[in-house]
Amino acid sequence: MAQNTQTLLFDSHIHIYPFHNALNSFKAALNNMSAIFPSGKYLACITERYDCNLYDELETGGLSEVRDFFKVEPTASTTVQKLIDSDGRELHIIAGQQIVTSENIEILALNMRGRVTEGASASATVKSILQNNGIPVVAWAVGKWFGNRGKIVTSLLDEFTPQQIALGDTSLRPIGWSTPFIMRAAEKRGFRVLAGSDPLPFGGEECRPGSYFSKIVCPHDYSIEQSLQSLLSNPDIHVGPGTNRLGVHTVAERMIKHKLAG
């Protein structure tokens, strides 16, 4: 790697539900990414559900169990907080949201503090995220990019440019599952694909953060805040997978547990 670049390891799709142990989720994000890349800067975006406000809790002095283990420091950005463990390893927590549109499409808002109302159309949701200076990511989900919903995802890629919107891949698309056609076609047109672990809403999924993430190579003189702001617009920032997705049996087991928990 050239000396004038730096590497960011970025899990763009982390859920920490109210019944999850937040400390274990943060530990997992740091440990899973650093196990593969012992050096680099580790970023975890909390894509919070409508009933979750963990980023605000962390900022306002809550989550005592997290603060007992990590030193929590603010940064120059209101959308980024830094956790430092006893070994000096740093995990940058990025504010974000997951929104379900009226068409039942999942759209992530990365690096965004404000909240976007659920239930609007996919197009209106992306526009709201852009107005709030967030990064809109259309998240892949099993069965949700087919039929009419697939047409809507394609229409978003026609309505918005690669500098405005990205696609999200997930650990729930198992190894061996071919890259969706929409994703392949979008990449050829210059759209970014960002990887995320996408923990499911049942106990035990706290081990998933950091298990699937993107490797982002950006100019060395960029801060993390600048790198996120320029992620879609700067061609000098290169994005690729930082690790492999999970095997078929592991994904199937997770999906069965999710169904039973629901």
pLDDT of residue 1: 43
Q: With 70 as the cut, is the pLDDT of residue 109 above it? A: yes
Going by DSSP bridges, is the β-strand pair 193-196/166-170 parallel, antiparallel, or unpaired?
A: parallel
Q: What's the CA angle centered on 245, arms 45 and 231, to 5 degrees?
A: 40
Percent of the chain whose pLDDT exceeds 90: 86
pLDDT of residue 94: 98
Confidence of residue 246 (pLDDT cuts 50, 70, 90): confident
Pick the CATH number of 5-261 from 3.20.20.140, 3.40.50.300, 3.40.50.150, 3.90.1150.110: 3.20.20.140
- The mean pLDDT of 236-240, rounded to a whole number, is 94
Q: With 70 as the cut, is the pLDDT of residue 232 above it? A: yes
| Per-residue tokens: 106 | 């999942």
Instruction: Provide the total of helices (H) and of strands (E) in the chain, helices listed first.
Output: 8, 11
pLDDT of residue 193: 97
- The mean pLDDT of 255-259, rounded to a whole number, is 88
**Cα gap 52→64, rounded to integer Å:** 17
Burial (CB count within 10 angstroms: exposed 0-12, middle 13-18, buried 19+), residue 212: buried
The pairs formed by 112-119 with CB atoms below 8 angstroms and a separation of 24 or more are 112/79, 113/55, 113/78, 113/79, 118/50
Average pLDDT of the residues of the chain? 94
**Cα gap 90→29, rounded to integer Å:** 11
pTM: predicted TM-score of the whole model, two decimal places:
0.94
Confidence of residue 161 (pLDDT cuts 50, 70, 90): very high
SS (H, E, C) 36-97: HCCCCEEEEEEEECCCCCHHHHHHCCCCHHHHHHCEEEECCCCCEEEEECCCCCEEEEEEEE
Tens digit of each residue's pLDDT (9 = 90 or more) over 182-207: 999 999 999 999 999 999 999 999 99
Cα dihedral: 85, 91, 96, 98 (round 10): -90
- The mean pLDDT of 89-115, rounded to a whole number, is 96
Q: With 70 as the cut, is the pLDDT of residue 249 above it? A: yes
Q: What residue spans define the domains of the chain?
A: 5-261
Contact between 152 and 103 (Cβ < 8 Å): yes
pLDDT of residue 3: 62
Looking at 204-208, 216-220, 241-245, which range is the least confident one?
241-245
- The mean pLDDT of 54-63, rounded to a whole number, is 94
Tens digit of each residue's pLDDT (9 = 90 or more) over 10-56: 999 999 999 999 999 999 999 999 999 998 999 999 999 988 999 99
pLDDT of residue 98: 97
